[in-house]
Amino acid sequence: MSCIQTIADYGLRSVGIGERLLPRSDFTMCQQFTLIGSGMIWNLYFGILALLAGFFLATTLAVAKNSDRAIFRKPAEWFIFLFRGSPLFIQFFLAYEAFAMLPRAGFPILGITVATDWITRAWAGALIVLFFNTSAYAAEIFYGALRSVPKGDMEAADAYGMTGWTKFRRVTWPTMLRLGWPSYTNEAIFLFHATTLVFFSGFPAFRQEGDALYYAKYFADKTFNPFIPYPIAAFYFILLTLCVIAVFGVINRRLNRHLPQESRKRFRFRPQIIR
């Protein structure tokens, strides 16, 4: 079987398109590269959606945590502590068990039966957990940035007669993003790394459609040789990390475009690894 054929068969295997049966023996390098790469689709899916949705919740939480009113501040503080203080791994298990306890058949609300089976599946359940998790981490970053918005900037905004929403949207928020962006880049990288945990926690892989690490482990288990699949997975993740750095770098340049070259905040790769 040629390599093109393998790619056609297994390139989209992780989303259920193409050959159903996984290779069982005589694994070629091409098969390993293709299947592990196909698994990356899941990592991208979880990472990108959680990041996009999490960005908004994180901003809200950061503002709430910075609020003077305890009624906003306390819930935000507890949310952030809950998700940052416990391992993501446990959160996945807990969420899965909680979702699995919902009645199988769905429950009726206002005459309509709300289905519950989709939420125990990884694509929805794990995404929810990752969304809350990244929101909590990013909220802490944005909160720190919010605290360090220069006093002078705020006073200048006051002097222009800006108040409330206008002031937040035009001064506070852009400055917060600018200051927090390098750390947020790191958070994004580690969110992508964290997506590898999904299929190793409570969430089962449906019809052997898993992420990159799931297939890497599959090969390692079958061949008893960890020296090929894991480095392949690592290679894909290094590529992904470089892409994230590039995209976030473009945004960073845009956020800093009004500043002189040398006073811009630079991104530094600071792995935080596990969460």
Pick out residues in 46-65 that bind another protein (CB under 8 A).
none
Under the binding rule (CB under 8 A), the answer on residue 142 touching another protein is no
d(C-alpha 172, C-alpha 62), whole Å: 12
Binding mask 92-121 for another protein (x = CB under 8 A): -xx--xx-xx--------------------
d(C-alpha 91, C-alpha 85), whole Å: 11
Of 179 and 233, the one with the shorter C-beta distance to another protein is 233
Q: How far is the CB of 267 from another protein (least distance, A)?
A: 15
In which residue are the tokens 């222009």 written? 160
Name the token pair of 76.
């935000």
d(C-alpha 155, C-alpha 162), whole Å: 10
Under the binding rule (CB under 8 A), the answer on residue 267 touching another protein is no
Is residue 185 within 8 Å of residue 244, measured between CB atoms?
yes
Q: How far is the CB of 274 from another protein (least distance, A)?
A: 4
Pick out residues in 78-97 that bind another protein (CB under 8 A).
81-82, 85-91, 93-94, 97
CA distances from 137 to 75, 81, 82, 205 (A): 15, 9, 11, 27
Of 173 and 219, the one with the shorter C-beta distance to another protein is 219
d(C-alpha 11, C-alpha 6), whole Å: 8
Of positions 14, 32, 196, 252, contacts another protein by CB under 8 A? 196
Of positions 222, 249, 264, 267, contacts another protein by CB under 8 A? 222
Under the binding rule (CB under 8 A), the answer on residue 27 touching another protein is yes
Under the binding rule (CB under 8 A), the answer on residue 260 touching another protein is no
What three-state secondary structure class fits 203? coil
Q: What is the CA radius of gyration of the chain?
A: 22
Under the binding rule (CB under 8 A), the answer on residue 193 touching another protein is yes
Is residue 198 within 8 Å of residue 87, measured between CB atoms?
no
Name the token pair of 59.
């901003």
Q: How far is the CB of 170 from another protein (least distance, A)?
A: 32
Under the binding rule (CB under 8 A), the answer on residue 224 touching another protein is yes
Under the binding rule (CB under 8 A), the answer on residue 176 touching another protein is no
Q: How far is the CB of 55 from another protein (least distance, A)?
A: 22
Q: How far is the CB of 201 from another protein (least distance, A)?
A: 9
- Segment contacting another protein (CB under 8 A): 164-172, 179-187, 226-234, 245-253? 226-234
Q: How far is the CB of 255 from another protein (least distance, A)?
A: 26
Beta strand residue intervals within 45-150, DSSP E: 107-109, 112-114
CA end-to-end span of the chain = 42
Is residue 61 within 8 Å of residue 76, measured between CB atoms?
yes
In which residue are the tokens 């996945």 written? 92
Residues near another protein, by CB under 8 A? 25-27, 81-82, 85-91, 93-94, 97-98, 100-101, 193, 196-197, 200, 213, 216-217, 220, 222-227, 230, 233-234, 237-238, 241, 269, 271-275
